[in-house]
Structure 1
């Protein structure tokens, strides 16, 4: 799992916690039913009487519901964050002489235009994430159903990525590539 896919990490973590809680609750219920756990009377009623619960129990239930709602809202907001966090790179060797800043979106725009023009590619998008010392590139290509993925990948490896690394003055640039298929060829004019 990479740092480029934060929602997946959060989803897996939340599902793991919920799974552990459910396993513990199921184990407690089975242990009580079988008589191995004697914390509760297994022959007793599930709810003791029909009286209203104490006030503290209502406050505790309300607090638990609010926390669960906020966690659910946090999870939903995390689903909207699909792109990795980008940085503005500072390219200054002598701060006294001034500084140059390069936005990550500006740095990959020519690369996206070039890759979007490859045969079989309908559209392209890319996100350059991380600081200049540890960059990462996430590329998403929408390709036609009959597009040659091998040829696209070879051209990307031999032309597009080396040119981007040279333009950014990087020796290595880790890349995550995702292909998405379109059903019909694009009618765009180039």
Structure 2
């Protein structure tokens, strides 16, 4: 379900673009330092002024570079958390084995959630196996929605009914609430 993490594709593209630009700039600086470029003299300075900047300016520039580097690393690590991938589920019973796509179970579950007061839309991904199931639910609620009531109904009605339908003892679920911008 690609809609679970909409900005991830843009974030990864921007990270790759910024990384390539920084790698190119670093490669250019290293090549210029070792005299491999003919457009820049080896002894030429970075700044075209004869005066060297004050030590405070150099320290501030270094500090800003470190902060930008740390923020970029944080941004990169945030990209690693992805929504689980849905797959084919296999139920084994006395009569044999049944296989079905996980959205067969999540579609009615989402329909039930969308009937809750204040919920505009719901999406869910059921991943893992029968032995280790995982579920991610995204609830898009209106501005006036009672999130506590929605969460309580999920815990007491929706998820237990889904666990019973899938014949699971436990179903770890993470729920993400998003709010619409329209009133």
Range of TM-score over shorter length: 0.5 to 0.7
Aligned residue among 120, 131, 150 for 2:118:
120
Q: Residue 105 of structure 2 corresponds to which residue in structure 1?
A: 107
| Deviations 1:43-81, CA, capped at 9 Å, x for gaps | xx93437669xxxxxxxxxxxxxxxxxxxxxxxxxx7x9
Aligned-pair CA distance for 1:179: 0.5
Aligned-pair CA distance for 1:127: 0.4
Query: Are 1:46 and 2:33 matched, yes or no?
Result: yes
Give the alignment of 1:1-190 within 5 angstroms.
46-48=33-35, 83-93=83-93, 98-184=96-182
Aligned-pair CA distance for 1:82: 5.2
Aligned-pair CA distance for 1:86: 1.7
Indicate the RMSD between aligned Cα atoms, in angstroms. Answer: 3.4
Q: Are the structure 2 counterparts of residues 157 and 50 from structure 1 closer, same or farther at C-alpha, using a change threshold of 3 Å?
A: closer
Structure 1, unmatched stretches of 5+, are 26-44, 53-78, 186-190
Structure 2, unmatched stretches of 5+, are 27-31, 40-78
2-structure distance, mates of 1:183, 1:152: 19
2-structure distance, mates of 1:164, 1:49: 65
Q: Are the structure 2 counterparts of residues 50 and 134 from structure 1 closer, same or farther at C-alpha, using a change threshold of 3 Å?
A: closer
Q: How many residues align?
A: 123
| Deviations 1:72-99, CA, capped at 9 Å, x for gaps | xxxxxxx7x95421221222346xx753
TM-score normalised by structure 1 residue count: 0.54
Q: Are the structure 2 counterparts of residues 48 and 171 from structure 1 closer, same or farther at C-alpha, using a change threshold of 3 Å?
A: same
2-structure distance, mates of 1:93, 1:99: 6
